[in-house]
Amino acid sequence: MTKNIKIAGTSVFPIGLGTWNIGNSPSEEEQEIEALQQGLQAGAQVIDTAEMYGSGASEKIVGQAIKDYARDSFYLVSKVSPGNASKKQLPKSLEKSLKRLQVDYLDLYLLHWKSPVPLEETVEVMEKMKKAGKIKAWGVSNFDTPDMEDLLSLPNGKNCVTNQIKYNLIDRGSEYGLLPYMREQQLPMIAYSPIIKNSLQQFNEGQSQVLEELAETHQVRLQQILLAWSIRDGNTIAIPKSSNDAHVLDNIKAAQIQFTTPELEQLDNVFEKPTEKQPLALW
């Protein structure tokens, strides 16, 4: 039985819809809109975008895809670029995002990565936008453990509800320090790139063999195994991106995969857990 994840008090399906790189080609817009709508109809709720994705083009596509859906049927996430995270600029960025998305508020607004703007200032204006009803909650993206510690020590810093990071079977460095810290703080993770790009080319023979065996056992695609693994802890929302209807539906079905303890041990044997601090994986 697939379990929903709670984020900022809202219960959502653990596999969402990523939108990086959509909106870049006019000839693909119809297909991209259709893929997002197929995902929503199949049970996805979280849609993740950002003002920097195609300089707003991604948000426009999302706006087209969601305009005929009830607002409470999806959970909308966007991100402010670091240079716009100030008291003066963040409200302007937010208004532009809302206009492109054709909505009155965001469910979640993230600081895309560390900013030259003092973090305290960004937190203050995020709180102001929350009080104004422009956003329901706020969080961060690409923050490592020291960054999270700095954030949570600030006035209202503990109102941060999540940290979105790159996480998959190859990029496991965050398991050493960051993820235990986030669990301690009861912060769910949003995992981007959960299905490793060009994955088959990156795996060695042992890794490929284990993944192929698991895919055969569960009667699914290899990519579904990767995705199911990323949400195995019950505290993670994964946001794979696809403009292919069939792949979007497969991604959502991956939430039904339940691994046995021996299967997880098999994966740990060929995709080793970190034994020391590693740089945070990016992009």
**Per the domain annotation, does 143 fall within a domain?**
yes
Active-site residue identified among 53, 75, 167, 192: 53
Domain that holds residue 211: 5-270
Q: Is there a domain that residue 253 lies in?
A: yes
198: confidence class by pLDDT, cuts 50, 70, 90: low
What is the number of domains present in the chain?
1
Q: Is residue 278 part of a domain?
A: no
Q: How far apart are CA 275 and CA 125, in angstroms?
A: 38
pLDDT tens digits, 125-145 = 999 999 999 999 999 999 999
Could you read off the pLDDT of 71-101 as tens digits, one per residue?
A: 999 999 999 999 999 999 999 999 999 999 9
Count Cα neighbours of 282 within 13 Å in the Cβ-side half-sphere.
Answer: 9
Q: Residue 191 has what pLDDT?
A: 98
Q: Is residue 53 flagged as an active site residue?
A: yes
Q: What SS3 state is found at 109?
A: strand
Return all residues near 70 (Cβ < 8 A) that are at least 6 apart.
Answer: none
Q: For residues 251 and 255, what is the distance between their CA atoms, to the nearest angstrom?
A: 8
| 111/163 Cα distance (integer angstroms) | 9
The whole-number pLDDT of residue 263 equals: 98
Tell me the pTM.
Answer: 0.96
For residue 148, tell me if it sits in a domain.
yes
Residue 199 sits in a domain whose CATH number is 3.20.20.100
Q: Over the stretch 265-279, which tens digit does the pLDDT of each residue have?
A: 999 999 999 999 999
In whole angstroms, how far apart are CA 88 and each of 93, 134, 253? 9, 15, 43
200 pLDDT exceeds 80? no
Q: Is residue 276 part of a domain?
A: no
CA gap 40, 66 in Å, rounded: 9
Tokens 């986030």 belong to which residue?
182
- What pLDDT does residue 201 have? 73
